[in-house]
A = this chain, B = another copy of it.
Amino acid sequence: MPKQHRAQLTRRAILTAAATEFDLVGYEAAALNAILRRSGTTKGAFYFHFSSKEAVAEALVADYAAGLAELRREWLERDRDPLSTAVGLTVEVARRLKQNVVLRAGLLLACRRVGAVTDGWDGLIDRLLHESAEADQLQPGADPAAVARVAYAALVGTHTVDPDFADLPERVAEAWRVLLAGVAREGELRL
């Protein structure tokens, strides 16, 4: 196996082990030794990649931000109608968060940092709802800015009140369904 590839596998194993430990016992309580044991790597290998537990947390946040940015780009490039993009993208984020402990750890660690919680999602949802209104997907009289604010609050609230993420995709879909019942034009909401 080429050296660089092996190094990447080790880095990935450390991130997954750390995310799993954070998930189980929380960031503060997670011990470096437990992360090493779980990842099957040596202290030397660990310190080749990371200077500390904090550095692992930084990497998880960066990977999470990059992963979601990539997903956003993919969805926006698909060029589906704006309302389906808003709903589909956020439900897919929820599904990935449920399935992927590394992504989940990144989100939870990002939320601990003041001001980092939005990551531009409020702006994106606002833009997509304004575009939905322009594309005539909303009922006349619906206020896209208000709907965007409430949708964003509901999405943030959904993973605050369901910290184990087990039902997150269903809850996010449900939030859109309830929110858009009186907002989307008939036939524009496919959920």
The reply to whether the CB of A99 lies closer than 8 angstroms to some CB of chain B is no
State which size class the interface on A falls in.
20 to 34
The minimal Cβ–Cβ distance linking A102 to chain B, given in whole angstroms, is 23
The CA of A174 and the CA of B147, in the complex, are separated in Å by 9
Most chain B beta carbons < 10 A, residue from A117, A118, A150, A175? A150
The minimal Cβ–Cβ distance linking A158 to chain B, given in whole angstroms, is 4
- Known: A153-B154, A183-B182. Is A118-B174 also a contact (CB below 8 A)? no
Residues of A within 8 A of B (CB): 117-118, 122, 142, 146-147, 149-150, 152-158, 160-161, 171, 174-175, 177-183
4 smallest beta-carbon distances between A and B, as pairs: A182-B182, A181-B182, A157-B157, A153-B157
Knowing that A150-B174, A154-B175, A156-B161 are A-B contacts, what are 10 other residue pairs whose CB atoms are under 8 Å apart, sorted by A's residue number? A146-B174, A150-B179, A153-B154, A153-B155, A153-B160, A156-B160, A157-B160, A178-B182, A180-B182, A181-B182
